[in-house]
Amino acid sequence: MNSAFLKLTSSDVAKSAVNALFAAFIFACAGLLGQEGGFDLFTADWAAVLKLTVNGAFAAFVGDAGRRFTTTSEGNFMGVVKL
């Protein structure tokens, strides 16, 4: 259950953090597989993979926390639209 409208609880932040961890794993795999040489751990551009992973995880955290912040406990977005 989400918290009240325009409020975040610690459980909302924790759920957003778990979502960001899942996204980080997916972005790391995509970064490794999407390189020119294919999946090779020894010749991977780890700086680019890390940058993609951190940016993706941050975007997932902010997006999920924002959704939880603007959704009521009944599931209405901005108090009006039912998601």
pLDDT tens, 22-69? 999 999 999 988 887 777 778 888 999 999 999 999 999 999 999 999
| 2 belongs to a structural domain | no
Q: Domain residues for 75?
A: 10-82
pLDDT of residue 58: 98
Give how many domains the chain has, as a whole number. Answer: 1
| 5 belongs to a structural domain | no
| 34 belongs to a structural domain | yes
| 23 belongs to a structural domain | yes
CA distance 54 to 51: 5
Query: Is a pLDDT exceeding 90 seen at residue 81?
Result: no
Residue type, 22: F
pLDDT of residue 26: 96
Which DSSP helix (H) or strand (E) runs through 12? helix 10-33
| 14 belongs to a structural domain | yes
| 70 belongs to a structural domain | yes
